[in-house]
Amino acid sequence: MASVTEQIKQKAFEIGFHKIGIVRAERLEKEGEHFKQWLEFNFHGGMQWLEREPEKRSDPNLIFPPAKSIIVVALNYYTPHEHEEKNSKGKISRYAWGDDYHDVLKEKLRELLTFIKTLDEAADGKICVDTAPVMDKAWAVRAGLGWLGKHSNVITKEFGSWVFLGEILLNLELEYETETIEDHCGTCTACLDACPTNAIVAPYLIDSKTCLSYATIESRDAELPLEITENMNGWLYGCDICQDVCPWNRFQKPTEETRFEPRPENVSTDLDQILSLTPERYAEKFRRSAMKRTKLGGLKRNAQAIKNGKK
């Protein structure tokens, strides 16, 4: 009979996850120090919430005290569509084309946790997807799902970097991975060379303040700085340049998760349409979409910046 660990992994694949690894819930010493240094460099920009209780990010037991194991999953989100390179259009980052990944991953992780509770009635866990103070990428690397690329995204051999990550902090002892995947970036600097704002200040180190994704999604400034507006290249929401040029993404495969298929006009969006959105139409158009993150004011600011730059 398969062990509990083997049954969990089998169920994860049945649910639709593409990779799974399980590691011991313990403090991330080296990764935690790296994160603190990143904060000290002020590379997090206006994301002040990252400064709060940074020790929680490196110690899973401060988030879920009974945690003994961490189940780490990856879900491929690649769909084979292309942006329209038109002056009238704004490009949207691939991760936001379909339904909000937070909802999709949480639903699948809840199903997995429910299954685990059928194997052991004492099982309890906490589901984490991006917004929890958990170092998703560090755990994915430790669990052997992939390695951290120089653009700071996790790269998998099977799917490139087009994967979402999530975790279950679990109160059960399981069988743990014994191997990690070595860094296969080698001497490649494609992502550093392609970044239009030089936001990748060194391999594995991003200055959010000069990153197009940060500027178009997280920034709440009324106007974007000149170094951003001069280099937007039509990016309305997010930016995929560093992933588009990554040689490992030649191994990309279309996902079976239909909810990541693009919504109408959500690959490239008409800029004038964005500028004419009412709050009601905005709420309707982006319901259950990751693009809610920018808010209507941010989207309009981005669209106007693109139009001004194309004059």
Return the closest-CA partner of residue 71 out of 30, 29, 19, 148.
19
Model confidence over 257-280: pLDDT tens digits?
999 999 999 999 999 999 999 999
Quote the pLDDT of residue 1: 74
- The pLDDT of residue 290 is above 70: yes
H or E, element range at 107: helix 101-119
Quote the pLDDT of residue 310: 67
CA atoms within 13 A on the CB side of 226: 0
Quote the pLDDT of residue 125: 98
**Class of 4-80+99-170 per CATH?**
alpha beta
Mean pLDDT of 296-307: 97
Model confidence over 51-98: pLDDT tens digits?
888 888 999 999 999 999 999 999 999 999 999 999 999 999 999 999
Mean pLDDT of the chain: 96
Model confidence over 176-187: pLDDT tens digits?
999 999 999 999
Indicate which residues carry an active-site annotation.
Answer: 130
Model confidence over 205-215: pLDDT tens digits?
999 999 999 99
Quote the pLDDT of residue 280: 97
Model confidence over 203-247: pLDDT tens digits?
999 999 999 999 999 999 999 999 999 999 999 999 999 999 999
Residue with structure tokens 């139009």?
307
pTM for the predicted model, two decimal places: 0.95
Query: Would you kindly state where each structural domain of the chain is located, as residue ranges?
Result: 4-80+99-170, 190-309
Is-contact 244 234, C-beta < 8 A? no
For 116: left if phi > 0, alpha if psi spans -120 to 50, otherwise beta; the answer is: alpha
How would you class 192 by CB atoms within 10 Å of its CB: exposed for 0-12, middle for 13-18, buried for 19 or more?
middle
H or E, element range at 169: strand 163-170
H or E, element range at 29: helix 29-40
Kindly indicate the confidence band of residue 311, based on its pLDDT and cuts at 50, 70 and 90.
low
Rounded-to-integer distance, Cα 269 and Cα 192, Å: 27
Quote the pLDDT of residue 132: 84
